[in-house]
Amino acid sequence: MKILKPSEIAKAAALLQQGGLVAFPTETVYGLGASALDGNAVAKIYQAKGRPSFNPLIAHLANLEAVERIAHMPRKARDLAQAFWPGPLTLVLPKRGTDVSNLVTAGLDTIAVRVPDHPIALSLLAQVDVPLAAPSANLSGRVSPTEAAHVVTDLSNQIDAVLDGGATRIGLESTIVDCSKETPRLLRPGGLTLESIEDVIGALSFLKDSSMAPRSPGQLLSHYAPSALVRLEAKAPIRAEVMIGFGAIDGDLNLSPSGNLVEAAANLFGYLRQADEIALSNSTERIAIASIPNAGLGRAINDRLNRAAAPR
């Protein structure tokens, strides 16, 4: 596997055009990209991640015009796209045409699309000139990568290259809104807050327990899991637990000493990986995490933490 510099985007584009797999940075997390038009390339994504094949992928595009070639855009979807793209928002829309491989949508008649807000991703998309199917570039069920080094740890033997763009700015996956039905529905909380979405299109419907959402099969309850067992809402570590603090509740690591949710989101997945390494090396195999307020980005952080702590 090659580690490519930002000056080597053309090499990454060429690998993708030849049906290769290339991980690239977005503003949320690193994605594992393949041409969405090339069924064989998309199949290699599922294989590399060890991901169950019923789990559909997000198609990444350079701009709204490119999205409209592969998806129909109801009015509220267009309003959201105009307000938040490029940005950490994925829209599930009725699929249009037959160019995109059925493996991307796992046979559904809807397609998940987004325009990422990252100069390397946008330049790569412009150069390959095809939609890129890209799930987070981690092994299935593991914490999403926020640095190129995380991609190397999980996938170095399985992929052709990673474009190294440094640490990702947001650190949490995109928010997913299903706009394929009359009332838009939140399928996954993420880097764009529910509050800012509702400011633009009004109230969303959402399922209380997203683990039950049949329309977003990636939302398996035990997901984003480190290897060590995770205990939430900890005030202090018990015995040799590795403690991840927040605000005034300190620990071995602190997601944000000042209690800033943006900073906490950016640190979350990297700290889960670090805490996991410490827990496994000192054989406590346990991580304790301070409580996080459940508003704004805190909703998405708690969604990921609840999955990390779910019974497995």
Residue 244 within binding range of ligand TXA, rule CB under 6 A: no
Residue 28 within binding range of ligand TXA, rule CB under 6 A: yes
Residue 175 within binding range of Mg ion, rule CB under 5 A: no
Contact 186, 194 (CB under 8 A): yes
Single out the residue of 87, 135, 237, 251 in contact with ligand TXA (rule: CB under 6 A). 135
Single out the residue of 4, 22, 26, 143 in contact with ligand TXA (rule: CB under 6 A). 26
Q: Please tell me the count of residues contacting ligand TXA according to CB under 6 A.
A: 29
The dihedral region occupied by 110, where left means phi > 0, alpha psi between -120 and 50, and beta the remainder, is beta
Of the candidates 100, 133, 118, the one whose C-alpha atom is nearest the C-alpha of residue 34 is 133
Residue 110 within binding range of ligand TXA, rule CB under 6 A: yes
Residue 101 within binding range of ligand TXA, rule CB under 6 A: no
Closer of 190 and 237 to Mg ion (Cβ): 190
CA 296 to chain centre: 17
Closest approach of ligand TXA to the CB of residue 66, in Å: 15
Both structure tokens of 102: 């059925």
Residue 136 within binding range of ligand TXA, rule CB under 6 A: yes
Q: Name beta bridge partners: 3.
A: 162
Residue 146 within binding range of Mg ion, rule CB under 5 A: no
Single out the residue of 105, 136, 146, 267 in contact with Mg ion (rule: CB under 5 A). 136
From 11-19, 136-144, 274-282, 290-298, span contacting Mg ion (CB under 5 A): 136-144
From 26-34, 73-81, 160-168, 248-256, span contacting ligand TXA (CB under 6 A): 26-34
Distance CA 238, CA 103 (A): 45
Of the candidates 234, 235, 237, 256, the one whose C-alpha atom is nearest the C-alpha of residue 247 is 256
Q: Please tell me the count of residues contacting Mg ion according to CB under 5 A.
A: 1
Alpha-carbon torsion angle 89, 310, 148, 102, nearest 10: -50
Sequence length of the chain is 312
Q: Name beta bridge partners: 109.
A: none
Question: Which three-class secondary structure string do you get for 136-155?
Answer: ECCCCCCCCCCCHHHHHHHH
Distance CA 64, CA 103 (A): 22
Binding to ligand TXA (CB under 6 A) within 69-98 occurs at: 90, 92
Q: Choosing among Mg ion, ligand TXA, none, which partner's interface includes residue 254 (Cβ < 5 to 8 Å by kind)?
A: none
Distance CA 31, CA 135 (A): 5
Closer of 110 and 302 to ligand TXA (Cβ): 110
Both structure tokens of 43: 């199949």
Closer of 105 and 254 to ligand TXA (Cβ): 105
From 1-9, 25-33, 237-245, 283-291, span contacting ligand TXA (CB under 6 A): 25-33
Of the candidates 224, 237, 204, the one whose C-alpha atom is nearest the C-alpha of residue 301 is 224
What are the residues binding ligand TXA (CB under 6 A)? Answer: 26, 28-29, 31, 55-58, 90, 92, 105, 108, 110-112, 116, 134-136, 173-174, 176, 187-188, 215-219
What are the residues binding Mg ion (CB under 5 A)? Answer: 136
